[in-house]
Amino acid sequence: MQYRPLGRTGIMVSPYALGTLMYATRMGNEPEESARIIHKALDAGINFLDTSDAYGDSEDVVGKALKGRREDVVLATKFGLPMGEDPNRRGTSRRWIMKAVENSLRRLQTDYIDVYQIHRLDPATDIEETLSALTDLIRSGKVRAVGSSTTPASDIVEAQWAAERRGLERLRTEQPPYSLLNRGIEREVLPVAQRYGMGVMVWGPLAQGMLTGRVRKNQENSLSRASFFKHLTDEHRIDAVEQLLPLAQKAGMPLTHLAMAFTIAHPGVTSALAGARTMAHLDDLIAGFDVRLDDDLLDRIDEIIPPGTDIGTLDQDYQPPALLDPALRRRPAADRAAA
């Protein structure tokens, strides 16, 4: 395994990391089976695990699985998504961060978190408030580095400037979506992350199942989640997959190996998060560890999906408040009438 530096943190991580959303028991796995998958991944050389307090009981499952092996793992988790109906059990306020980190430490059965990430930015909280709290966590030894997830480039820059202006710890990592079908972060997010020396762990490298080859044009959808996610039935995305499949076949590899190798070929990407829910999924990931894409193959991919282009939009992608709240993009009715 050829380990890579996680930005400028000095931490070395594997180019493929294990995303643990699927290890929550509500996703169908027994904790014992999830532990076996995690152990096999560690034995194969993967040393980077990512979870979140919002992933059901995933943190509990991961914490139990890592007993006796915690020191071998770079452990990342996230906070900020709602953890119940209480409006204060969410977001990025100091009040919630200090509670959320203690909850995660308890569930993970560890004294420290290697990378503590803002799951989604909270527009109601000043970024300096958030960075100040995260700085205190680093100084207390409970957290080693801090980062963000699915963050627009402009907000990354603002956070970096705020940290420098106030002498606070800065965001060291970013976790954006990235795949053959979603290359939008190549325009600004990856260049900005490179400029600030941030480590980047990308999620969704298989486009939530579309790049497994199980979603085909004019065929009954074999992916059970397709009825729940619009992007799995997007004809433009399916058309792109139909062009990528013969490309992978000609290169002598499964589409999954092409998709995973593509994400870690970008110099701005540190690791790609793979959600290996079953042992078979993990075996396929391990089989593709040594796959490298040559320039001719990357050029052909660029012809199918141009650099910086998203084919459709992920249902889980970040939507800024200005798009979600109509009141933020419409003048009051009285003002419109007066005009």
Note whether 234 and 209 are within 8 A (CB): no
Pure H helices in the chain: 31-43, 58-65, 94-108, 127-140, 153-166, 189-195, 235-251, 255-265, 279-287, 295-304, 321-324, 333-338
Q: How far apart are CA 74 and CA 140, in angstroms?
A: 18
Other CB atoms within a 10 A radius of the CB of residue 101 amount to 22
Query: In angstroms, rounded to a whole number, what is the distance separating the alpha carbons of residues 195 and 200?
Result: 12
Strand, helix or coil for residue 200: strand
Q: Is 55 a known active-site residue?
A: yes
The dihedral over CA atoms of 302, 289, 56, 208, expressed in degrees to the nearest 10, equals 30
Joined tokens for residue 249: 């076949």
Contacts of 120 (CB under 8 A, 6+ apart): 80, 81, 149, 150, 318
Q: Single out the catalytic residue among 16, 23, 55, 196.
A: 55
Two structure tokens written together for 334: 């009285």
Alpha carbons 299 and 175: distance in angstroms, whole number: 25
Give the DSSP letter string of 235-246.
HHHHHHHHHHHH
Q: Just list the catalytic residues.
A: 55
